[in-house]
Structure 1
Amino acid sequence: MRHETHETHTHQHAGHSTASWSMAAKATLHCLTGCAIGEVLGMIIGTALGWGTAPTMVLAIALAFFFGYSLTLFAVLRAGVALGAAIGVALAADTLSITVMEIVDNGVLLVVPGAMEAHLSDALFWGALAFAFAVAFLVTTPVNKWLIGRGKGHAVVHRYH
């Protein structure tokens, strides 16, 4: 990859770095992937077991953080970083991004009428979940751009690629 490719690098200017929207979108998509795996699994488990809204959301959020961190952790471990350091990198890279994503997507699910009561076989269940993820992506991308521009968030992972 050539250095002139502005869309895939963070550049330093007067002590601050600038991040491209493309880089922020990729970081957000990475975050969304882990969150979506956990959210969907948690919603499926909670819905299949007939749990109420609160326990289903707690499980979905816990699994979203678990899978979100796991994707980064595995990538950093593959780069040869020791487990303790890799955990630190994953926490630094993903905590704010996952938190924003979870607040937004769960907030959206709570305001979509009937979404939390819908069953796995209902189009409303999957449609509301997809809509919530789309809104969360749109809200979280600028957060990741801001973080990367300050050398935080997914910027700490880039040195291990």
Structure 2
Amino acid sequence: MSEHVHHHEVQSHSDHAATGQWSQAVSATLHCLTGCAIGEVLGLALATWWGWSNGPSIVLAIVLAFVFGYSLTIWPVLRAGLPLKAALGVALAADTVSITVMEVIDNLGMLVIPGAMEAGLTDLLFWGSLVASLVIAFVVTVPVNRALIARGRGHAVVHAYHH
């Protein structure tokens, strides 16, 4: 009987750890989504306003997504007392894979939705496509972040600096 109880305790602990990793993955992906969305919206909106073609528009959006994504990690880590170089290292380790996956999916979405990149800032197609692409990118990125967290990587490295 003790073996049976022990098995359930292990199963329960394992289930709890897996649930915690999924919760952390959703939280990490929401964090990533925030930085990516700020960068994407600002980049694509500015590029559309300026009349840029697709290539430069996407480059600007990606660069700004990485800038804002990393910034959202760097500032709290700096406030926790880490020097800038170390904080940058934490942000790179925590966010690079997540932001990259999110940006690939988001920008592919914008490119494959007919007319999305040609739509103007006042067009529902532009904003609807951007939101849809970000939602799809979020759904795809959550399991990526969960896999990273399960291995002690990705956003798991930031948790040592949260107070």
Deviations 1:95-149 (A, max 9, x none): 0000000000001111000000000000000000000000000000000000011
Amino acid at match of 2:159: H
**1:67 paired residue number:** 68
Q: In the alignment, which residue of structure 2 is the partner of 1:45? A: 46
Alignment of 1:1-161 (within 5 A): 18=18, 19-161=20-162
**Cα RMSD, aligned residues only:** 1.4
The 1-side partners of 2:103 and 2:76 are apart by 22
For 2:117 and 2:59, how far apart are their aligned partners in 1? 13
Question: Matched residues in 2 for 1:75 and 1:137: separation?
Answer: 22
Q: TM-score, normalised by structure 1?
A: 0.88
Q: In structure 2, give the amino acid aligned to 1:33.
A: T
Distance in 2 between residues matched to 1:81 and 1:122, nearest whole Å:
44
Aligned match of 1:9: none
Deviating above 3 A after TM superposition, structure 1's stretches of 4 or more consecutive aligned residues are none
Q: CA deviation at 1:60?
A: 0.3
Q: Find the counterpart in structure 2 of residue 4 from structure 1.
A: none
Q: Which runs of 5+ in 2 are unaligned?
A: 1-12
Partner Cα separation in structure 2 for residue 112 and residue 70 of structure 1: 29
Q: Specify the structure having the higher radius of gyration (Cα).
A: 2
Aligned-partner residue type, residue 151 of structure 1:
G
Of Structure 1 and Structure 2, the greater helix share is in: 2
2:7 — aligned with what? none
Give the whole-Å Cα distance in 2 for the aligned partners of 1:20 and 1:147: 10
Which blocks of at least 5 consecutive residues in structure 1 are unaligned? 1-11
**Larger deviation: 52-61 or 17-26?**
17-26
The aligned counterpart of 1:8 is none
The 1-side partners of 2:38 and 2:25 are apart by 20
Separation in structure 1 between the aligned mates of residue 124 and residue 45 of structure 2, nearest angstrom: 14
SS of equivalent residue, structure 1 residue 114: coil
